[in-house]
Amino acid sequence: MLNSQPTIETLLNHRSIRKYTGEPISEEMLSAVLEAGRAVSTSSFLQACSIIRVTDKAKRTALRQISCDLSQAQYEQALAEGKRLGHAYVEDCAEYLVFCMDSHRHNQLAKVQTDWTEVMIIGAIDAALMAQNVLAAAESLGLGGVYIGSLRNDIARASEVLGLPKHVVPLFGLCLGHPDMSSKINQSQRPRLPLDILVSTDTYQVADENKLEKYNEVVREYYQGRGLDLDWRAQIAATFGAEVRPFMLEFLQKQGFCKR
């Protein structure tokens, strides 16, 4: 019988885990966390999500190379030079799961119109909800994990590696394993926005700029403690200050989504 930690305690202790002990996850544990994902709420009972469990070493390596933090030009140059790129934990974690929005089954069973943008939103929400259930359940059992959104750096290649048909899109990965808590990278929690910025009542409340600046300083101090010259403003600018995967719409449309 598996022993899990209380829900709120588990959720409040969340941190991304990027280094693992190497111990495998038992079949009992893996089955439990996947069942927790299966039990999640789903829009209109459409169940528009699938999980790909990646165990093949070559596929892990290919997905690691996709999950890198380089520009497209740098990525292609590094691949041409035969370099191993991306996050080591994609290869090293005990389990690597890829969450996909999936309307392939819908097209198998009925005459449907799954090319509406709303269908894509439904699938993305279903996948995110399922993944969060999986991670929360895993953490309650003493496991740890980290999401891999950089899977979308080359989403066409990721789909090819995973053998995905039309109407299926890989949204993100999830590394799972037993945390190596001797590693400093696993020990800290990044400070989240305070509730008085996150939560409004009845109508949207524009964030107080002084509170945002105060939070930005909290983040700066956190990163200074890790030896990094970084704050939240810089992270926002780095992410949204230029093109953000401009190939996504074309790929989504190729897979049968977002055509209208």
Encode burial over 198-210: b for 16+ CB neighbours within 10 A, e otherwise.
Answer: eeeeeeeeeeeee
Distance of CA 169 to the CA centre of its chain: 13
C-alpha Rg value of the chain to the nearest Å: 20
Q: pTM of the predicted model, to two decimals?
A: 0.92
pLDDT of residue 69: 61
* Residue ranges of the chain assigned to CATH 3.40.109.10: 7-188
Given 3.10.50.40, 3.40.109.10, 3.30.460.80, 3.30.200.20, which CATH number is that of 7-188? Answer: 3.40.109.10
**What residues have CB less than 8 Å from 1, skipping those under 6 apart?**
none
Identify the residue whose tokens are 């895993």. 138
Residue 216 burial (10 A CB sphere; 0-12, 13-18, 19+)? middle
pLDDT of residue 84: 66
pLDDT of residue 28: 97
- Averages of pLDDT over runs of 10 residues in the chain (260 residues) are 92 94 97 98 97 97 83 71 81 97 98 97 98 98 96 95 98 97 80 96 97 97 92 95 95 97
Cβ atoms of residues 121 and 49 within 8 Å: no
Count how many Cα atoms sit within 13 Å of the Cα of residue 37 in the half-sphere of its side chain.
25
pLDDT of residue 72: 60
